Copies of this chain bind each other. A is one copy, B any other.
Amino acid sequence: MTPIAEETPLPVSLEHVRAAAARLRGVAVRTPLLHDTPLDRLVGGRLLIKAEPLQRTGSFKFRGAYNAIAATTAPAVVAWSSGNHAQGVALAASLLGRRATIVMPADAPRIKQERTRALGAEVVLYDRVRESREAIGATIAERSGAAIVRPYDDPAVIAGQGTVGLEIVEQAMELGLVPDLAVVCCGGGGLIAGCATALRALLPDIRVYAAEPEGHDDTARSLARGERVANPPGVRSICDALLAPEPGELTFAINRRLLAGGLVVSDAEVRRAMALAFTELKVVVEPGGAVALAAVLAGRIDGRGKTVAVVLSGGNVDPDLYARVLQER
C-alpha cells in the first residue's frame, strides 16, 4: 500500500463515485448500516455492517450496472453472467428503457434464467464446454449495436459499486463514528475497488482489506506479489459469486494502490457467518456475500477496540443450501 498521491491518477475517482450516487438517488436502495449488533461482542470491536442483500435484485451489482448503462446512449445492452450481475443488468436496463440480452450457460439453474427473464431481459443460452460467452456476447453487441456491460472491469461499473463505500462513510458519520478498518469481499474486484476509492478519499487512514474464499485468493496473492496472478483451475468453493479467474486489469490497478491486504476464509467459516447473519442480523446472506463477515468473525484481522465496516454483498442463495446451513450445529 503506497501513499495515494505519489503515482499517476487512478481510473476511478471520488468524483466518479459521487456522480454515480447522484444517478442512483431514488433508484437504488440506500441499504442500512447495521450497528450495535450482538456480533460486536464476538469481535471485541464495533462492527458497521452494510446490508447490501437488501439492494434491488438482492445484491450490489444493480448499482454498477445502472451507473454503466445510464452512462451509455446505446438502445440495448448485453452482458454475460449466470448470477447477480445478470439480474442487476436486467433490472437496470429495464428501468432505463433499454433492451437487455444476457448470455447464460445452458446448465444455469432454471430459477436464475426465469428471474432474469422476469426482469425483462432476453436470455441467450450457450454450451459452457464448447462455446465462449465472451465471443457470443461480442457477436450480439456487434450485430445489434448493444453496449457490453462488463461485470467489474469498467470504470462506470466500479464507480457505481463505490456508492456502497460512500454510503458507509455517510452513515457512519450519522452515527458519529469513523471506521478504522473496512473488509469487503472480492471476486473480480469491482466492489472493493469502488469502495476503496470512496473510503480512502474520505478517510485517508482507513485500512481496506479484500476477503476471498480459499482457492480463489487471487487478489490476496496478487497484492502480495505486486502483480496479477490467477487462481489454480478446478478448486471448488461454496462462494459461487466470487469465482473470477484472476483480478481485473482496472480493478487491480486500483486495488494494488488502495488496499491494505487480502484475507482468506474457508467454506466452513463462510457457513458459520451465514448462520450468524441469520440469528443475529436477520439478513439473508449468500455464501459469497458472507465472506467479509466470515473473515472478521474468524479473526483474520484484529478488530478488538476498532470500528470495522463490513460489507454483506448479496443474498441470492438457494433455499435448500440455506436450510442446510441453518441446520448445521
Contact = CB atoms under 8 A, between A and B. Distances in A.
Contact of A35 (B29, B282, B320): B29
A275 B323 CA distance: 12
A326 B322 contact: yes
A271 to B, nearest CB: 13
B315 A320 contact: no
A253 interface: no
A58 B282 contact: yes
Contact of A32 (B36, B54, B281, B284): B54
Main secondary structure of the interface of A (DSSP, over half): mixed
A251 to B, nearest CB: 25
Interface string A27-40: 00111101111100
A234 interface: no
Contact of A284 (B37, B283, B320, B329): B283
Contacts of A278: 284, 319, 322
A324 B283 CA distance: 18
A8 interface: no
Interface in A297-329: 315, 319-320, 322-324, 326-327, 329
B54 A175 contact: no
19 contacts: A26-B176, A29-B34, A30-B32, A31-B32, A32-B32, A32-B51, A34-B54, A36-B56, A51-B54, A54-B281, A58-B282, A275-B319, A282-B284, A283-B283, A283-B284, A319-B327, A322-B326, A323-B323, A323-B327
